[in-house]
Homo-oligomer: A and B are copies of this chain.
Amino acid sequence: MNALVQAAARDLEALRARNPLVLSFTNSVVQQITANMLLAFGAVPAMLNDGEEAADMLRACTSALLINPGTLSREQAREMRIAVQTAREVGVPWVLDPVAVGLLGFRTRFCSELLTEKPALIRGNGSEILALAGYSAAGKGPESNDAAEAALPAAKELAATTGAAVLVTGPTDFATDGHSVLACSNGHPLMCRVTGVGCAMGAFAGAMLAVSSSPLQAAASTAALWGLAGELAAAAAPRPGSFLTAFADTADALTPHAVLTSARLSTFPG
């Protein structure tokens, strides 16, 4: 057990004690699993479409904002910009989850522009992080063809230029602030067989930002808690329908003790 794992266990306790509200502008496919997983872990989900309403909520009671352009429309992009600008004004940290950036032109331009608005955390697979950092990358929809590790240099650059912690997800997840790199080997392949598990992880990263000691630790705690809940659920329910149910049950039941004994977080000699 190391300090990273101890911090992840503390972050879980803080999440349960403080129930931060995460406001998500996210794609319509994953809204239910996103809200249900936040609730299961102890956070409070909120989702809106209107920028003025988002501003009201950001000023009132919001701990973090998620921007996920998975089913982006021109209208949604406009409202998301209002939400992000308000979040900066009022000091609410925000997460960018650049789904399918690199493959689709409109969202690639949109997310690249948003990088100037100082996201606190960026979560993506290897292809998405490579593309967002300005490298070409081949992706087939939301699944990554580039290993997360291959995207590490791009992730470090992206962190350095934006000031965000970057979480690159894959069989091993990597978190970096541009200097340190942390690695997490929790998780299970079944997590890629249910829609929205990756996107909901972006919202969960928002909850972690609200309780963790730094964006880098938030990224590491996200990877560890999310991956551990997923692997425990897969052990209980080895097919995708029942996995979806077990994932929420496991998140609800996850204890700091289980994190201390089973989270696999370490510094990475990158």
**Chain B residue with Cβ nearest A79:** B73
Taking a contact as CB atoms under 8 Å apart, the answer to whether B33 and A50 are in contact is: no
Indicate if A269 sits at the interface (CB-CB under 8 A).
no
Residues of B within 8 A of A107 (CB): 53
Taking a contact as CB atoms under 8 Å apart, the answer to whether A50 and B36 are in contact is: no
Taking a contact as CB atoms under 8 Å apart, the answer to whether B32 and A195 are in contact is: yes
Indicate if A187 sits at the interface (CB-CB under 8 A).
no
Indicate if A196 sits at the interface (CB-CB under 8 A).
yes
* Contact (A241, B240) CB under 8 Å given A71-B47, A194-B36: no
Indicate if A49 sits at the interface (CB-CB under 8 A).
yes
- Complex Cα distance, B143 from A35, in Å, reads 13
Taking a contact as CB atoms under 8 Å apart, the answer to whether A196 and B244 are in contact is: no
- Complex Cα distance, B72 from A233, in Å, reads 34
Which candidate, A21-29, A157-165, A166-174, is the interface stretch facing chain B? A21-29
Question: Which residues of A pack against B, CB within 8 Å?
Answer: 21, 27-33, 35-36, 39-40, 44-50, 52-53, 56-57, 60-61, 70-76, 79, 100, 103-107, 140-143, 193-196, 239-242, 244-250, 252-253
List 8 additional A-B contacts (Cβ < 8 Å) besides A56-B106, A240-B248: A28-B28, A28-B47, A29-B32, A39-B193, A44-B140, A46-B100, A241-B249, A245-B245
